[in-house]
Amino acid sequence: MDNSSVSRRNFLKTSAFTAGAAVLAEVGTRQVFAAGSDKIKIGLIGCGGRGKGAVDNCIKSSPGIEIIAVADLFEEQAKNAKKSFEKFGEACKINDDHVFWGFDAYKKLIDSGVDMVLHAGPPAFRPAHIKAAIEAGKHIFMEKPIAVDPVGCRVIIEASKMAEQKKLGVVCGTQSRHRTSYLEVMKRIHNGDIGELTGGQCYYVSGGIWFRDKKGAMANVSNLEWQCHNWYHWDWLSGDQVVEQHIHKIDIMNWCFNGPPKKIWATGGRQTRDLQILPLLKDSPDLKRMGETNGHPNMLGNIYDHITAEMEYPNGARCVSISGHIAHATERVDERIVGTKGESNCSAIIKGEKPYEYKGEIPNPQVQEHTDLIKSIRDGNPLNEGIRIAESTLTAVGIRMSAYTGRELSWDWLMKTSQLDIMPKDLKPGPGHFPPIALAGITKLI
């Protein structure tokens, strides 16, 4: 899936939408989803497990949803997705000429007659793909995170402003924002039930992650294509674990404070990741063939396995963030917020002067986020979460940048000044893109 035809830097330079406001308003009036509309045709970009899950969630969420197109970098992935969606019966309307693959597959899907794009490919591709879909007048459901660097986050922010003008829905897969228990607790936190917020902690520490060796169906693809298949292991594709996974908990901290931190300071490293992966490659010829970078085989990736950060919010409250993927370590995935009158786990319980415990039903939030999006579109008042999730993604990106460089960062610098753009400029089958492992104090802050 290619972004070579879309220059993110040029987009940032030419993103003044006011000149086209009249055109955008006209486009908005032509949206097919007036209140009470019937069918919504969806298309999926990124046909892995999460993509298939998102289609399942969307179809279960609301009546009148039809999947009509799929796109993936790999032909086999796209064709397997079409076949798997046949279980939906009449809701699956994918013709053979609506199964797309290759680096330009996203363009073909956007032009295939879909009303809404579900994007679940690697995070690196989201800025270019989402921008193109919104320009084409498509509603969006996108998985988290929405970018891997500050330049990409700004693309999503500007594209989300465009979506607002075009009256397009934009929802992201940070499903806690659509979970009833979180919503009830957060309402009370924002009403002051635990007083002024003074600090907190958030954690996403879990076991080792999957690794896809360059064998089987992948044995004969180019190194860059294989990297996209094994995307989690490079910062330019996944953003690192703190961006790709810990974004859920970082977003909840930002939710508590109604916005991002003003300062970020972090440290981290790569302690056990190679030891987790090497046993999987004992019979792999690629280990010798692909060379080494900074003493590590290139094919093992360049992301860290642990990062710890401090986030200081505008009111002076400081929150600790701990994240990582470490095999056999004690796992911890939760959060805690503390105020002058109490504390909360954010998800169900408040302790203190105004105690509270949520005991109601909790519909599946991964389905509910689609329910909320579809309803908002049909009601003519589409949800737009684009700027909010871009800010939380940029918070996570800032934590990674701080850990990689050893530098404290300000939010203003991240949002307005950083020019970090880690996406390769010419994505096509060929040599891989193997950045070195970052070394704090040596890696430059850009």
Provide the CATH number for the domain around residue 107.
3.40.50.720
Residue 55 lies in a domain: yes
Residues 353 and 375 in one domain: no
Do residues 157 and 34 share a domain? Answer: yes
Could you tell me the pLDDT band of residue 122, with boundaries at 50, 70 and 90?
very high
Are residues 139 and 373 in contact, defined by beta-carbon separation less than 8 angstroms?
Answer: yes
Ranking 44-48, 215-219, 305-309 by mean pLDDT, the lowest is: 215-219
Element (H, E) at 376: helix 365-378
Question: What is the reported pTM?
Answer: 0.90
Residue 15 has pLDDT above 50, yes or no: no
> Is residue 31 predicted with pLDDT exceeding 70?
no
For residue 291, the model assigns a pLDDT of 47
Say if residue 3's pLDDT is above 60. Answer: no
pLDDT digits (tens, 9 = 90+) for 65-86: 999 999 999 999 999 999 999 9
Q: Is 90 exposed, middle or buried (0-12, 13-18, 19+ CB in 10 A)?
A: exposed
The verdict on 17 and 148 lying in the same domain is yes
Cα radius of gyration (the chain):
22
Q: Quick one: pLDDT at residue 257?
A: 98
pLDDT category at 329 given cuts 50, 70, 90 is confident
In a domain, 1, yes or no: no
Residue 418, pLDDT > 70, answer yes
The pLDDT value given to residue 300: 83
Residue 435 lies in a domain: no
Structure tokens, 285: 């010829």
Show the domain range for 254. 192-361+394-416
Which pLDDT band, with edges at 50, 70 and 90, does 284 fall under? low
Count of domains in the chain?
Answer: 2
- Closest Cα to residue 386, out of 190, 142, 178? 142
The reply to whether 30 and 88 lie within a common domain is yes
**Residues 242 and 265 reside in one and the same domain:** yes
Q: What is the pLDDT of residue 327?
A: 83
Pair type for strands 296-297 and 356-357: unpaired
For residue 175, what pLDDT band results from cuts at 50, 70 and 90? very high
Q: Which residue has the higher pLDDT, 407 or 213?
A: 407
Count of positions (residues) in the chain: 446
Would residue 429 count as lying in a domain? Answer: no
- What percent of the chain has pLDDT above 90? 79
Strand pairing class (409-410; 263-269): antiparallel
- Selected residue with higher pLDDT from 289 and 196: 196
Q: Is residue 157 domain-shared with residue 303, that is, in the same domain?
A: no
Residue 446: inside a domain, yes or no? no
Same-domain check for residues 94 and 142? yes
pLDDT digits (tens, 9 = 90+) for 351-382: 999 999 999 999 999 999 999 999 999 999 99
- DSSP 8-state code for residue 92: B
Say yes or no: 372 and 357 in one domain. Answer: no
Three-state DSSP at 232 gives helix
CATH classification of the domain holding 310 = 3.30.360.10
Asked whether residue 242 is domain-assigned, the answer is yes
**pLDDT for position 27:** 41
Strand partners, 342: 339, 352
Per-residue confidence (pLDDT) for residue 29, from 0 to 100: 33
Residue 3 inside a domain? The answer is: no
- Is the pLDDT at 279 greater than 70, yes or no? no
Residue 80 and residue 221 in one domain:
no
What per-residue confidence (pLDDT) applies to 16? 38
Task: Report the SS3 class of residue 12.
Answer: helix
pLDDT band, very low/low/confident/very high, at 20 (cuts 50, 70, 90): very low
Q: What is the mean pLDDT of the chain?
A: 89
pLDDT digits (tens, 9 = 90+) for 190-211: 999 999 999 999 999 998 888 8
For residues 157 and 113, membership in a common domain is answered with yes
With CA atoms as reference, report the closest residue to 176 among 352, 348, 404, 45: 348
Q: Is residue 326 domain-resident?
A: yes
Does residue 123 carry a pLDDT above 50? Answer: yes
Gap between the Cα atoms of 230 and 213, Å rounded: 8
Asked if residues 356 and 349 have their Cβ atoms less than 8 Å apart, the reply is yes
Per-residue confidence band for 1, with pLDDT thresholds at 50, 70 and 90: very low
Contacts of 65 (CB under 8 A, 6+ apart): 39, 40, 42, 58, 59, 91, 374
Question: Of 27-36, 59-68, 241-250, 404-413, which range is least confident?
Answer: 27-36
In this structure, the answer to whether residues 311 and 216 fall within a common structural domain is: yes
Same domain, 357 and 372: no
